């Protein structure tokens, strides 16, 4: 399955913490795509439940906790994991093309940070709906 986990060190002091989320040297392509963040306003709120055929994405939970479900569209392989801001490290999740992904908040509030290597275009959204909740 085309995904990868990396632990990101929190550099903390009395003001809070700073995390180096993603560096240019970690990207295969040098073309900038797009950053965004997504909020979850309630425990159990689910976002995503789709896959991309061309895009790769890097995610972390900057605040709160979420359950991540992944499914390889070609092989049927599945994976579940939790992303959280509660530990000494944040976890960065890379998801490649053709990996369905969903995020479900495990806390009342959560914030998901994302980088994708290609911009969103309404005429070619490259987001194919895939209901991971029905997958067992």
pLDDT of residue 30: 73
At which residue do the structure tokens 């998801």 appear? Answer: 95
SS (H, E, C) 43-99: CCCEEEEEECCCCCEEEEEEECEEEEEEEECCCCCEEEEEEECCCCEEEEEEECCCE
Compute the distance between CA of residue 125 and CA of residue 81 in angstroms, rounded to an integer: 26
In this predicted structure, the answer to whether residue 5 has a pLDDT above a threshold of 80 is yes
Distance between start and end Cα atoms, the chain = 17
- What's phi and psi for 63, nearest 5 deg? -155, 130
- Residue 7: C-alpha distances to residues 59, 66, 73, 98 (Å): 12, 16, 26, 23
Q: What is the 8-class DSSP label of residue 29?
A: -
The model carries a pTM of 0.91
Average pLDDT over residues 40-52: 97
Compute the distance between CA of residue 84 and CA of residue 66 in angstroms, rounded to an integer: 7
For 70-126, the pLDDT digits (tens) are: 999 999 999 999 999 988 899 999 999 999 999 999 999 999 999 999 999 999 999
Compute the distance between CA of residue 98 and CA of residue 52 in angstroms, rounded to an integer: 6
57, 127 Cβ separation under 8 angstroms: no
């Amino acid at each position: 399955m085309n995904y990868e986990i990396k632990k990101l060190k929190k550099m903390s002091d009395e003001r809070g913490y700073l995390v180096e989320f993603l560096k240019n040297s970690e990207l295969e392509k040098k073309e900038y795509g797009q950053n965004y963040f997504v909020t979850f306003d309630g425990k159990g709120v689910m976002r995503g439940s789709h896959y991309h055929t061309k895009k790769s994405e890097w995610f972390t939970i900057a605040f709160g906790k979420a359950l991540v479900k992944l499914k390889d569209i070609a092989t049927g392989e599945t994976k579940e994991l939790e992303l959280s801001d509660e530990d000494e490290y944040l976890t960065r999740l890379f998801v490649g093309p053709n990996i369905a992904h969903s995020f479900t908040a495990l806390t009342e509030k959560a914030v998901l940070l994302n980088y994708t290597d290609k911009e969103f275009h309404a005429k070619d959204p490259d987001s194919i709906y895939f209901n991971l909740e029905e997958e067992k």
